[in-house]
Amino acid sequence: MRKLHEAPVNEIIAVVGDRTGEEEERLRHVCSLYGAIIAENPKWEEGISTSVKRGLDACSPDASGAVVVLGDQPLVGARAVERLVETHEGGAAVAVATYGGRRRNPALFARGTWPILEEELSGDEGARRFLKRHPEMVTEVPCDDVADPTDVDTREDLRRLEARGPGMPTNNQKEARR
């Protein structure tokens, strides 16, 4: 959240499950410190598709697009989002970050794509199916030099990330130096 705080967007929406507890309240508090609007997702157990839909529903009516960033990718920051926004402002309907030529997150979807996206989203899969079905809408945006898509899904993943230490090069920066 800290790295995204400086992204060139009008609003930040954090989609969270509707569970209550100490961890959930701490998450909501941290998000609010960065000015994020909290959108609770009562269907979170049905998969990521419900969180994407809930996030789109929470966007202001005048939003021209929405950037989808996953909370388990802490090394994706404002610079990657900035590139997606610039690509969208240049006319792209969908802008997707790439790393090593592979599509990853974040992704920006122009408002005009939302009805199709929402119709095709289901289960615990994000927009992958949409992106494959509509290649004519997709513009790939290289982000290797400004972000790292490392997922933090387990405690072991977190330990590996913490072991890099502050200032340690990301996987992509290491690759760029070779």
Mean pLDDT for the chain overall: 87
Q: Give the confidence band of 8 by pLDDT, cuts at 50, 70, 90.
A: confident
Total count of domains within the chain? 1
Cα separation, 127 vs 97, in Å, equals 13
pLDDT of residue 1: 61
Per-residue pLDDT tens over the stretch 108-150:
999 999 999 999 999 998 899 999 999 999 999 999 999 989 8
Token pair of 126 as six digits: 């994000």
Residue 162: CATH number of its domain: 3.90.550.10
Q: Read off the pTM.
A: 0.85
Q: In Å, how far are 41, 123, 151, 152, 161 from 156, measured between CA atoms?
A: 27, 26, 11, 8, 9
The region, left, alpha or beta by phi > 0 then psi within -120 to 50, assigned to residue 161 is alpha
* Higher pLDDT among residues 119 and 174, named by residue: 119
Residue 26 neighbours by CB under 8 Å, 6+ apart: none
Strand order in the sheet with 138-142: 65-68, 102-110, 94-99, 138-142
Q: Which domain holds residue 104?
A: 4-177
Q: Give the confidence band of 174 by pLDDT, cuts at 50, 70, 90.
A: very low
